[in-house]
Amino acid sequence: MHKEYFIKRISFWFLAKLAVYVIVVVVFWKHIYIILLIDFFINWWIKGDGPIDFLKSYWIGIQDILFNKEGVYFVLGISEEGIKTKNGDYLFSEIKNYEISRGGSEPFLLLKTGRRIDLNISWLKKDEQLEIDRHLQERINDLQTSRSR
């Protein structure tokens, strides 16, 4: 099994652009062609953009709003061999213990070297947090019981 977990943060600018587009469409929906024409002439006068460049910039702007990839951040990846975090990759054989979150603290890994690695999964959905907790507890407990035999 290999699974990666991501969070998507909605930026202020994304919300501002979306609000402007919604206001323009709602208020000026009858005259949207005039606004586009004015915007085209301003771009042509200031930037020297032609009609194709103008349409490309609008298409890129629409894609940016609909498919914004800048706000997606990697949190954690789990494979059969180990865990990948923003701080590095760790094999399950290097992990001594896994502590779940308690009282608002982040869950963390305790390595055999004594180093503590915070997982920073509190931004994920609750079901994803529980899935990570369950998987890591099972995996690390299985390794600990196999070592003690």
Q: Which residues contact 7 (CB under 8 A, 6 or more apart)?
A: 72, 73, 75, 123, 124
pLDDT of residue 8: 66
Question: Which of left, alpha, beta for 6 (phi over 0: left; psi -120 to 50: alpha)?
Answer: beta
Q: Does the predicted TM-score (pTM) go above 0.85?
A: no
pLDDT of residue 126: 86
Q: Which residues contact 101 (CB under 8 A, 6 or more apart)?
A: 107, 122, 129
Q: Which residues contact 122 (CB under 8 A, 6 or more apart)?
A: 101, 106, 129
Residue 44, phi then psi, degrees to nearest 5: -70, -40
C-beta of residue 106 within 8 angstroms of C-beta of residue 119: yes
Q: How far apart are CA 52 and CA 142, in angstroms?
A: 60
Low pLDDT (below 70) residues in the chain:
1, 7-15, 64-72, 143-149
pLDDT of residue 31: 75
Q: Give the distance from CA 68 to its chain's centroid.
A: 10
The CATH topology of domain 77-148 is OB fold (Dihydrolipoamide Acetyltransferase, E2P) (2.40.50)
pLDDT of residue 10: 61
Domain ranges of the chain: 6-66, 77-148
DSSP tag of 125: -
Burial of 109 per CB tally in 10 Å (0-12, 13-18, 19+): buried
pLDDT of residue 50: 80
